[in-house]
Structure 1
Amino acid sequence: MSEQIGHECGIALVRLLKPLAYFQEKYGSPLWGFEKLFLLMEKQHNRGQDGAGVACVKFDMPAGEPYMFRERNTQPNPLDRVIGSVLERYRDLVKAGTVHPEFPDTVKQHFDFGAELYLGHLRYGTSGGYGVSACHPYFRRSSWPTRNLALCGNFNMTNTKELNDSLIAIGQHPIFASDTQAVLEKIGFFLDEEHEDIYRFLRTRELSGQELSRKISEDLDLTRVITRASQKWDGGYAIAGLIGNGDAFVARDPSGIRPLFYFQNDEVVAFASERAPLMTVFDLVLEQVKEVQPGHVVVVKKRGTVSSNPFTAPLPRTSCTFERIYFSRGNDFDIYKERKALGAQLVEQVVKAVNSDWAHTVFSFIPNTAEVAYYGMLSALRQRRRGEVKAAILQASKDGTLTDALLDELIMRNWPKGEKVVSKDIKLRTFIGQEGLRNQLASHVYDITYGSVQPGDYLVCIDDSIVRGTTLRKSILRILARLQPRKIVIVSTAPQIRYPDCYGIDMSEIGKFIAFEAAVALLRRRGQTGLLEEVYALCREEVGRRGTTNHVRRIYEPFTPEEISAEISEMVRPQGIEWKGEIEIIFQTIENLHAAVPTATGDWYFTGRYPTPGGYRVVNQAYVNYYDKHEGRAY
């Protein structure tokens, strides 16, 4: 994607089902579980580079000994820093003779992360700031093991204020930090209640303190805790938690918006936001990795049992399309196929844009994640051209006009040509939250391969999506124009992004979308600005009554997608350059999107059809903010 946007985080959970001595004997390392956690996080580093954190629980520690630990970092390369810091302490303990790896009991006794249960998180900061206090996992501490909670997630809640208000209503004093804090306190409250209910039931049985603690741990019902805590949750979420007694859970939203997968054998249970990392880290085949079902919570008890149960009413499945287009790693088998299909679906529009001039067209991509879609587009273009060549040869054979020169013309000089025209020099992920600096540096992110395009050629470049159009205007089109092509065609594998997201992707300011800017510009040009005020009034009313009608759709209704695309093509033309060639922006159609990605129907950013009531509140509020010239998130 040429424009970096903050988005979904990544989670990993590893629960060993054997003692540390087993892994030392079989794999030569008592830290086998911690190493697997690190690998799962490393294979998902694409999901978050604003912060990283790990937590663990040690089983059966003596009274008075700590048993839960956490390490977090928000400096550059946070995952390397977190893991490096933990392992450096381990090496120091080994060097000092305090820990002996061949004796796992010493590892567990003296090393913080010599544990049986691990949790990891990679963060993109969409709320709560960028400091370490906003970095997952969050902790909620108690002297009772069954009331200790470590929590992390890949989620956004659309109704954080409502969740905090519900905490206030029961007498709590929540800290208005982020939706994670609200969810932590909500789960913590019902975890406390579950603990107290069991405690009151057992305390009349004259059990010893140790036996009482053991029975509470055994009877703790995390499915019931999550069911009660989630009654007012509205958003997309994959949440993972550790309890101090050794229990663990993962929960997924009822629409299946956020992804979540797991693997289990007799040695380990492991969870991750993506399927491919589990396959790579544990050397698995596709069928061994399962998907956590939407609206279900998977509970791993300290005794090793694993159960999956629904915790909320089911909703129609609307998995995030952007996961397939961009966010998830492309080495997943299904995602790879879908991205190739996204490229292939654009062929008809592309061929029309270059007037079928195969001999004078160069096809390329905007690095790095559009590369797979490029292969799909190029493969489909060649297949189409083969059909044309075959028909021409058959006709020439029939007419008796088939010659070597004709074959050269048909095949050698008229074949789809691919080049790596654009290169990415530096990364701007560090500056995602700094709009001014991002814009200032945008013109230096990409460079071109001089000589890859001849003056007068058509140049087609495929990108994952076009959100703001800033990078096109300030960088990509400006440098592509140096090659002096006849026409530049930018092809987006995603449809026009028209509406805000509120379920994990940090794009809630509607006024910054190039498609919205184009629609407003067309309204102004046609003298229809009264519609802007009319929609404003409707949106304010809808927000006030918490309705579920998307009034912003009316902004787009007067225009065809082609008209908006044409306006975008004009808006992104760089200023102050001598090149006078043509620019055309092509977007994927909604129909072709779903044909290429049939398993993910979550398309609200394209269509305005939201899976939860909170989405409609956000889209209307986003327009109100735009009209009132208020910047910031709409939720």
Structure 2
Amino acid sequence: MSDKLTHECGVALIRLLKPLSYYQEKYGSPLWGFTKLFLLMEKQHNRGQDGAGVACVKLGMPVGEPFMFRERSVEPNPLDKIFKTLLAQYDEQVRAGTVHPEFPETVKRAFPFGGELLMGHLRYSTSGGYSMLSCHPYFRRSPWPTRNLALCGNFNLTNTTELNASLTAMGQHPIFATDTQAILEKIGFSLDEEHQELYRQLRAQGLPGDEISQRISRELDLGRVFTRSAEGWDGGYTVCGLIGNGDAFVARDPSGIRPCFFFKNDEVVAFASERAPLMTVFDLEAPQVSELKPGHVMVVKNDGALSETRFAAPLPRAECTFERIYFSRGNDIDIYRERKALGARLLDQVVAAIDHDWERSVVSYIPNTAEVAYYGLMSALRERRRTEVKDEILAASRSGALDEALLDKLILSNWPRTEKVVSKDIKLRTFIGQENLRNQLATHVYDITYGAVAPGDTLVCVDDSIVRGTTLRKSILRILQRLHPRKIVIVSTAPQIRYPDCYGIDMSQLGKFIAFEAAVELIKERGGFGGLLQEVYDLCRAEVARAAGAGQPGTNHVKKIYAPFTPEEISAKIAQLVSPPANGWDGQIEIIFQTVENLHAAVQQHTGDWYFTGDYPTAGGYRVVNQAYLNFYEKTEARAY
């Protein structure tokens, strides 16, 4: 994806099922679990670089000793910063003699993260800014272990305002900051209620205080707590929580929008946002890793028992397609195959764009996430060309025209050509993560291999998706012109992104989508549609007002903006909008997008496609898309949720 998006946080949770001495004896380190947490997070660093945080609970700590810890950072390279800081603290304790690694009980007593229950979070800031106040895990403290809560997640909720209102109705004074804060308080309230119910029952039995505390810890039902808390949530989420007594939970939204995987053996239970990191870190095969069911919460009790509870009625599955196209790491075998299939499905459009001129066409990709799709496209192109060559040889043989010269021509030339045309300065990209600086320096992020394309060639570049078109317009197309190709074809493995996302990706401002911009320009050019923009505004305003009262948003009126035009017409207009000044180059620019039908054929198990089709999996999505249009029409930069 050449446009920068903030998106998709990553989570990791580890529960050691043996005492630290077991891992010291078997693996040579009492920090085996701590190291695995770091590796799980490092293998998911693609999911968040704006901040990182870790939390730990130590089981069975004596009264008076701390048992729950947290460390966070929003500095550059926050994951490295956290673990280097903590390991430096550990090494200093070893040198000082307060920690003796061969005696794990000293590690547990002295090192804050020498515990059995560990949780980590990698953050992209879709809301709440970049400050430490918005960095997970969030923490809710209490002198009762069973009322301490550390929370992190990969989520966006569409109805945070309503959740805060429900907290206010309970008598609370919520801080209207982020959906994370609202979720923390909702779960915290239900946790307090569960605790108080158990406390009153046990106190009525005349039990002493220490036994009451132990019984509450054993009988605390986190499945019930989460079910109460999540009532009315609308959005996509994977939520992880640690309780001070050593219980833990991981929950996934009823539509399965956000991903979550786990595995368990006799040593450890581990959860992560992606399957491949679990396989790599714990040396597993794919069948050993399970997917957390949508609408279910998994609870690990402080004795290691694992249970599963359905907390919400099932909804149609709508796993985020962008996970497969772009966000998740491509070393998961299913994702790898799907990305190759996405590239291969573009075959007919690409062949038409190069007009079957194999010899004067060069195919490349825009680094780096489009690389696998590029391989899929190249495989399909070569297979197509082999079929053509075979047919030509057979035809020439039948007509008696087959000779050595023709064979040489057919076999040795006129095949798809590939080059590494575009490269990216990763350090510069990281440095200019803030959008305003990024736009100023965008032309320096990418560079080209001079001489890789001959004047007169058609240059085909595969990208995984085109959102705003900003980088195409300000950087990529400008530098590709320097190669003086006859034609530049930009190929997106994703369909046109037409509608906002509100479940994890920061794509809520409708006016910034290049497909929407193109449709609006077409409406303005064709005067007959002059009243359409106002008509849609009136419909959206009425829908948002109705939805606010009824709680049932229903229709995506923004679809009317696209309805008068074919996808090809919008693609052609996009090509015009992203074309930079010619600067002496008189070639042609064409933009090709994947079709929705081919997307579904390539990615069959993940059906969440609302950003392409406008068909949202939850009621809140329809409210968001209509509000996004109101914001566009009223020229406000506000987020739509």
**Which band: TM-score by shorter chain?**
over 0.9
| Residues 49, 429 of structure 1: 8 Å contact kept | no
Name the structure 1 match of 2:591.
585
| Residues 264, 270 of structure 1: 8 Å contact kept | yes
1:218-251 per-position Cα deviation (integer Å, ceiling 9, x unaligned): 1000010110000110000000000000000000
Alignment pair present for 1:549 and 2:549: no
Give secondary structure in 1 for the equivalent of 2:382: helix
Name the structure 1 match of 2:482.
482
Deviation at 1:430, TM superposition (A): 4.6
| C-alpha separation in 1, matches of 2:309 and 2:432 | 38
| Residues 236, 255 of structure 2: 8 Å contact kept | yes
Name the structure 1 match of 2:610.
604
| C-alpha separation in 1, matches of 2:431 and 2:138 | 25
| C-alpha separation in 2, matches of 1:97 and 1:316 | 57
| C-alpha separation in 2, matches of 1:576 and 1:381 | 30
Matches within 5 A, 1:24-39: 24-39=24-39
Aligned partner letter, 2:42: E
1:7-45 per-position Cα deviation (integer Å, ceiling 9, x unaligned): 000000000000000000000000100000000000000
Deviation at 1:424, TM superposition (A): 0.5
TM-score, normalized by length of structure 1? 0.99
1:433-458 per-position Cα deviation (integer Å, ceiling 9, x unaligned): 73321111111110000111110001
Aligned partner letter, 1:98: T
Deviation at 1:177, TM superposition (A): 1.0
Alignment pair present for 1:422 and 2:425: no
Name the structure 1 match of 2:228.
228
Alignment pair present for 1:562 and 2:563: no
| C-alpha separation in 2, matches of 1:628 and 1:561 | 27
| C-alpha separation in 2, matches of 1:184 and 1:404 | 75
Tell me how many residue pairs correspond in the alignment: 635
Aligned partner letter, 1:222: L
| Residues 428, 438 of structure 1: 8 Å contact kept | no
Give secondary structure in 2 for the equivalent of 1:358: coil
| Residues 140, 150 of structure 1: 8 Å contact kept | yes
Aligned partner letter, 1:407: L
1:102-135 per-position Cα deviation (integer Å, ceiling 9, x unaligned): 0000001111111000000000001111111110
| Residues 458, 488 of structure 1: 8 Å contact kept | yes
Aligned partner letter, 1:592: N
Deviation at 1:308, TM superposition (A): 1.3
Matches within 5 A, 1:203-222: 203-222=203-222
Deviation at 1:632, TM superposition (A): 2.4
1:286-341 per-position Cα deviation (integer Å, ceiling 9, x unaligned): 11000000000000000111011210010000000000000000000000000000
| Residues 49, 77 of structure 2: 8 Å contact kept | yes
1:357-380 per-position Cα deviation (integer Å, ceiling 9, x unaligned): 001000000001000000000001
Name the structure 1 match of 2:164.
164
Name the structure 1 match of 2:68.
68
| C-alpha separation in 2, matches of 1:533 and 1:206 | 70
Deviation at 1:625, TM superposition (A): 0.3
| C-alpha separation in 2, matches of 1:281 and 1:538 | 51
Q: After alignment, is 595-604 or 426-435 more displaced?
A: 426-435
Give secondary structure in 2 for the equivalent of 1:440: helix
1:235-278 per-position Cα deviation (integer Å, ceiling 9, x unaligned): 00000000000000000000000000001000000000000000
Name the structure 2 match of 1:532.
533
| C-alpha separation in 2, matches of 1:379 and 1:571 | 31
Deviation at 1:411, TM superposition (A): 2.2
| C-alpha separation in 2, matches of 1:593 and 1:348 | 14
- Superposition misfits of 4+ residues, deviation over 6 angstroms: none
| Residues 432, 441 of structure 2: 8 Å contact kept | no
Deviation at 1:179, TM superposition (A): 0.2
1:552-584 per-position Cα deviation (integer Å, ceiling 9, x unaligned): 000000000000000011111102511010100
Give secondary structure in 2 for the equivalent of 1:483: coil
Aligned partner letter, 2:579: R
Aligned partner letter, 2:404: D
| C-alpha separation in 2, matches of 1:87 and 1:136 | 20
Aligned partner letter, 2:614: G
Alignment pair present for 1:466 and 2:466: yes
Matches within 5 A, 1:79-98: 79-98=79-98
Name the structure 1 match of 2:635.
629
Deviation at 1:429, TM superposition (A): 5.6
Deviation at 1:398, TM superposition (A): 1.2
Q: After alignment, is 205-214 or 173-182 more displaced?
A: 205-214
Name the structure 2 match of 1:252.
252
CA separation of 1:143 and 1:429: change in aligned 2, threshold 3 A: farther
| Residues 424, 446 of structure 1: 8 Å contact kept | yes
Matches within 5 A, 1:375-524: 375-427=375-427, 430=430, 434-524=434-524
Q: Which runs of no fewer than 5 residues in structure 2 stay unpaired?
A: 548-552
Name the structure 2 match of 1:571.
577
| C-alpha separation in 1, matches of 2:247 and 2:315 | 28
- Among all aligned residue pairs of Structure 1 and Structure 2, give the percentage whose two residues are the same amino acid: 73
| Residues 5, 432 of structure 1: 8 Å contact kept | no
Deviation at 1:178, TM superposition (A): 0.3
CA separation of 1:390 and 1:568: change in aligned 2, threshold 3 A: same
Deviation at 1:409, TM superposition (A): 1.6
| C-alpha separation in 1, matches of 2:64 and 2:454 | 74
Match of 1:619 among 621, 625, 634: 625
**Two-structure CA RMSD over aligned residues (Å):** 0.9
Deviation at 1:206, TM superposition (A): 2.4
Q: Which runs of no fewer than 5 residues in structure 1 stay unpaired?
A: none
CA separation of 1:124 and 1:315: change in aligned 2, threshold 3 A: same
Deviation at 1:383, TM superposition (A): 0.5
| Residues 543, 620 of structure 1: 8 Å contact kept | yes
Deviation at 1:167, TM superposition (A): 0.1
1:451-507 per-position Cα deviation (integer Å, ceiling 9, x unaligned): 111100010000000000111111111111111101000000000000000000001
Deviation at 1:523, TM superposition (A): 0.3
| Residues 523, 529 of structure 1: 8 Å contact kept | yes
| C-alpha separation in 1, matches of 2:595 and 2:98 | 63
| C-alpha separation in 2, matches of 1:172 and 1:245 | 25
| Residues 238, 258 of structure 1: 8 Å contact kept | yes
| C-alpha separation in 1, matches of 2:15 and 2:416 | 51
TM-score, normalized by length of structure 2? 0.98
